[in-house]
């Protein structure tokens, strides 16, 4: 498995996996497949464009993109000590092989190497037991539960807000 930062050259492949993710695990995202499927390729190029504080990582099995995870640093001065993991997804065929862990470790390494970043946050569906276990194994802790955070197919779903303080992380 090869983990690397995605570039604008990966936009078409990224788009395909992200749209597949929105269909496969809609509960893991706040944007829906319907909202994103008609976006032009330029929308995905913008998501991957090099800019301070934002990186998207990809996991490749050979030449096939099988996992993605984003890291975005807060831009406001009083929040710039925080970065957020977003858009984490691993294709079904690659699950159970440590891909999600490797993606998250890449994101955390980048956060640790970014001067001034002291904390990483993320949001996870409260029913996603596997993801919660992964995050906890890396030192993330729940600091809030948002009831009725998302409504999917008319059903209310809760989100857990988790964080990892980099100065105290293992």
Q: What is the pLDDT of residue 52?
A: 75
pLDDT number for residue 156: 92
Q: Which of 2, 4, 31, 27 is nearest to 19 (CA)?
A: 31
The closest alpha carbon to 73, from 101, 115, 34, belongs to 115
pLDDT at site 169: 52
2-165 CATH, one of 3.40.50.200, 3.40.50.2300, 3.40.630.30, 3.40.718.10: 3.40.630.30
d(CA 149, CA 125): 9
Whole-number pLDDT of residue 69: 97
Q: How many CA atoms lie within 13 A of 36 on its CB side?
A: 19
Per-domain boundaries in the chain: 2-165
pLDDT digits (tens), the chain, 170 positions: 899 999 999 999 999 999 999 999 999 998 999 999 999 999 999 999 877 778 999 999 999 999 999 999 999 999 999 999 999 999 999 999 999 999 999 999 999 999 999 999 999 999 999 999 999 999 999 999 999 999 988 899 999 999 999 986 55
């Amino acid at each position: 498995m090869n983990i690397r930062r995605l570039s604008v050259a990966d936009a078409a492949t990224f788009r395909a996996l992200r749209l597949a993710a929105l269909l496969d695990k809609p509960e893991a995202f706040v944007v829906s497949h319907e909202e994103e499927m008609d976006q032009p390729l330029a929308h995905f190029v913008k998501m991957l464009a090099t800019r301070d504080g934002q990186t998207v990582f990809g996991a490749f099995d050979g030449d096939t993109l099988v996992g993605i995870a984003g890291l975005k640093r807060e831009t406001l001065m009083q929040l710039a000590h925080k970065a957020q993991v977003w858009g984490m997804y691993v294709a079904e065929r690659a699950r159970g092989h440590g891909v999600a862990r490797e993606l998250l470790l890449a994101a955390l390494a980048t956060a640790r190497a970014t001067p001034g970043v002291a904390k990483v946050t993320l949001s996870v569906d409260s029913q996603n037991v596997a993801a919660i276990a992964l995050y906890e194994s890396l030192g993330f802790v729940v600091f809030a539960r948002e009831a009725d955070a998302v409504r999917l197919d008319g059903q209310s779903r809760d989100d857990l807000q988790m964080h990892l303080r980099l100065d105290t992380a293992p």
